[in-house]
Structure formats: C-alpha cells, structure tokens
Amino acid sequence: MELIFLGTGAGVPGKERNVSALALNLQAERGTTWLFDCGEATQHQILRSPVKAGKLEKIFITHLHGDHIFGLPGLLSSRSMNGARDPLTLYGPPGIKAFIESALTLSASFLTYPLDVVEIEAGVVFADAQFTVTALPLTHGVPSFGYRIEESDKPGALDSARLAADGIPAGPWMQHLKRGESATLPDGRLIDGAEYLGPPQKGRVLAIFGDTTPTPNAAILARDADVMVHETTLEAAMAEQANRHGHSTTHQTASAARDAGAKKLIITHLSARYDREGAEKLKAECREIFPNTELAHDFDIFSL
C-alpha cells in the first residue's frame, strides 16, 4: 500500500506544486488504484508517475471546488480514449453527478467503460471483505468530506514450529490452514487451521481530509490512524485568514493529529505563497506539536 502525491498545492497550480490529487496504490492488495481528488492537470501528473489510469478502480472527491475536480472530465475521457474497459466508481458530494454529466455531454465525450457516480452522505460509502471507507463532513465554504479507509484485519501467521512438532508436512493444504480453515491430510488427519494461527494482523487505517477548518469530526476520522493526510494551507500566525476561507494552519492540523492519536501526519495543500524553504517552515511548525509530521511534495511516495 502506497500513497502517491500527484498534487500538493492549494487553489491554483504552481511551478512546483500542482493542485490536489492523491493516489492510493493498492496493486498488492487488489490490483487497483484509488484516487482522492482530481484537480486540473491530474492526468498530466499521472503520466509522470507510477499510476496507470486504466488501473483506477475508484475516485473519491472531497468537495466540488475547482482545484479538486477540474481534472475529472479530462481524466475520464482520456481513460476511455486509451481503451479502458474496467468499471470505475466515482464518489463525491451532491452535485458531482451533474458536473460530470454536463461536462461529458457538452463536450460530446463518450466512455468505453461503466461509470457509476455515487453522491455521498455521512457514513459508510463503500465496504467489502478488504476495506471499509467512511465519509464524514468537514467545515468548509461548500460541503466537504474527509474519508477514513480501514483495512480489514488479516489472519495471523501460521506457527511453523508447532506444525513441524505435530508432524504436519508442507503441501497444498497449507493454503487452507493459512486462512484458518480445516484441511484433510493424506494420512487422513483433519487439521483445524485456526489452532495454528498466531494473533490476527491489525489492518491499516488511513484518514484523508478535504479542505476544512478545525472540526470535531477530525478526531473520529483519524482516530488511531496509521497515517493522517491533512491540508496545511497557511502558517500558524495566519489562523484568522486561514479559518475565514475554510482552511487550517500548521498548529491546527498538528493539534488535530495529536488529539486523534494518529501515528503519522502528512501535510499537503500548501498555499502558493510558500516556496520550498517556506514549506519546510510549515513542517517545522507542525513538528512543534506533532513530531512525526512529513511534508508532501508532488510525486512523493509514502509506503505503509
């Protein structure tokens, strides 16, 4: 599982930071990629990254401001023109369906793959045997959501020493035992795999936020998260300006991560006023409150 940052700037594209887009690489887990937000020129960023548009399974939009959605029509159309056939599901606040339908209809675009557009509300928006995705509202000028992505727990590892001690040889039945299932050995013994498994492996948890001022829902979304990805638009001294426009500062973001018990904070969505030196100062301000803070640049990859 990897986080691939395709755009880490706020509002408008810059020379070093494009507008918001974040890919969650799930190739190892399910052979697909999920995308969170799709600002202008996201498809250009994808061309310069390991992400493959044809492998996109889901796109989650946090809110409908242009720096988070203006790349969608182009990406959807190019994916079609490149011959994609696999279904794609798009999640977003109410209004996302009208935006996509209008853009595709007025531009006479067509899709070669099934596109399902889901307008979300607070609660679970997707769940299967591997992952559960929950959305909660944030505080911004338009409806904005944060997403909590929870990986299901995995069965513990097989106790190889105990298997050997009980005279259980290697063979195709091991696949059943690894899943905690029963299997019959060639000598007729019925083995219960659950008796040979170690403690379950805790699934990973991510919290990915849209634009927001400080909100109580941050503690719910990022509770005990392995990684929290949160906007840090302005420095601590500019709190009044940041909050007036629906954004957060360094200290507000770091405090949210600390209060939620997150293990790591990755800051993104930086104002264009900050060059590389200024961005480092933002990271330093976050670390005053939450030491395990990392600063995202375009094309940075963080493994989980």
Q: Residues at the annotated binding site? A: 63, 65, 67-68, 140, 211, 269
Reported as a single tens digit per residue, the pLDDT across 254-280 is 999 999 999 999 999 999 999 999 999
Mean pLDDT to the nearest integer, 286-303:
98
pLDDT score for 156: 83
Residues forming the annotated binding site for Zn(2+)? 63, 65, 67-68, 140, 211, 269
The verdict on 66 and 133 lying in the same domain is: yes
Tens of pLDDT, residue by residue over 52-83, are 999 999 999 999 999 999 999 999 999 999 99
**292 or 154: whose pLDDT is higher?**
292
Instruction: Say what the pLDDT of residue 157 is.
Output: 86
Q: What is the pLDDT of residues 183-240, one digit of tens each?
A: 999 999 999 988 888 888 899 999 999 999 999 999 999 999 999 999 999 999 999 9
142 and 267 assigned to the same domain: yes
Does pLDDT of 179 surpass 90? no
Let me know if 187 is a catalytic residue.
no
Same domain, 297 and 219: yes
H/E stretch holding 142 reads: none
Same domain (yes/no): 63, 144: yes
Q: Which of 196, 216, 247 is the last residue of a domain?
A: 196
Specify whether 227 is located in the same domain as 98: yes
Catalytic hit among 37, 67, 159, 192: 67
- pLDDT, the chain, mean: 96
Reply yes or no on whether the pLDDT at 291 is more than 90: yes
Closest by Cα among 210, 166, 218 to 192? 166
How confident is the model over 90-94, as a mean pLDDT? 98
pLDDT at 159 over 90: no
> Do 141 and 166 belong to one domain?
no
Q: Are residues 167 and 259 in the same domain?
A: no
Q: Are 207 and 112 part of one and the same domain?
A: yes
Output the pTM of the full model: 0.90
Considering the domain architecture, whether residues 176 and 238 belong to the same structural domain is answered as no
Nearest residue to 45 (alpha-carbon basis) of 24, 20, 64: 20
Residues 33 and 174 in one domain: no
pLDDT digits (tens, 9 = 90+) for 124-144: 999 999 999 999 999 999 999
Half-sphere exposure for 131 (CA within 13 Å, toward CB): 18
On whether both 18 and 78 belong to a single domain, the answer is yes
Domain count, the chain: 2
H helices of the chain, in order, are 27-30, 42-47, 66-69, 72-81, 96-106, 160-165, 174-178, 217-221, 239-244, 250-260, 276-289
Q: Which domain holds residue 83?
A: 2-153+202-303
> What are the pLDDT digits (tens) for 24-58?
999 999 999 999 999 999 999 999 999 999 999 99
Residue 34 is part of a domain; what is its CATH number? Answer: 3.60.15.10
Whether residues 178 and 259 share a domain: the answer is no
Please state, in angstroms and as integers, the Cα–Cα distance from residue 304 to each residue in 43, 59, 204, following that order.
24, 20, 8
